[in-house]
Amino acid sequence: MRLIFCIDDKGGMMFFGKRQSKDSVLRNWIVNYAQGAKLWMSLYSAKQFDDNPGIFVDNDYMSKAEENDVCFIEDGKYSADRASEIVLCKWNRHYPSDKVFDIDLKSFGFKKVGSEDIKGSSHDKITIERYRR
């Protein structure tokens, strides 16, 4: 399974139960990245995506996602145990946060396999890093 996270410069994901930021260009990138696979996310995350037949909404998505599926993770619990790839979408800013990305990629055997910068609608530069085991 592939996991996608949006994080700030210090790994922050959320603050007081709210996402730090969102970006329509990045949402389109995520949908395109998951093309051909089920894209799982929580009800909270799904509210920012238009109706899309490839999006599966369930707050227990980590247990329902299968080997080739993609999970977009903002507010739910997560684990790298079954992940084959982790995608970090970096805002290139520091926001307040109380929920942080806490997977030690190296200890799980992940290696960086690619990086690209995209120009978002709300951020001039969003860095997308891909890690695989």
pLDDT at 52: 81
Q: Are 10 and 97 in contact (CB under 8 A)?
A: yes
Mean pLDDT by 10 residues, the chain (133 residues): 98 95 96 95 93 90 95 94 97 96 96 98 97 97
Confirm if 22 and 38 have CB atoms less than 8 A apart.
no
Contact by Cβ (8 Å): 4, 70:
yes
pTM of model > 0.85:
yes
Q: Look at residue 54 in the predicted model and tell me its pLDDT.
A: 85
| pLDDT (0 to 100) of residue 50 | 81
